[in-house]
Amino acid sequence: MYYPMPIETIRAENRSALPDAPMIDDSPAPPRFAAVRGVLVAGLRGIARAQLRWAERIEPCRRPAPRYRTS
């Protein structure tokens, strides 16, 4: 591809035309965030467990019958 001017000049001009990019924060999440996430996950797991217990109590016949080996 043909560039009318050296690629270094084009890069320098493009760099000066762009606004300063915001700094990307690569630091790990604060421990408070991990604690909140742990509480939420535990709560959701508890809700799912309770729903399963409730469903089995209402319709215990939904579970497939155990397969016994005849051989």
pLDDT digits (tens, 9 = 90+) for 27-70: 676 778 888 888 999 999 999 999 888 877 766 656 666 777 66
pLDDT of res. 21: 58
What is each CA distance from 57 to 3, 31, 46, in whole angstroms? Answer: 74, 39, 17
pLDDT of res. 59: 66
Q: What SS3 state is found at 14?
A: helix
Query: Is a pLDDT exceeding 70 seen at residue 18?
Result: no
Helices and strands: H and E segment counts in the chain: 2, 0
What is each CA distance from 65 to 9, 16, 32, 49, in whole angstroms? Answer: 75, 72, 46, 22
Place of tokens 């469903």: 55
pLDDT of res. 47: 93
pLDDT of res. 54: 84
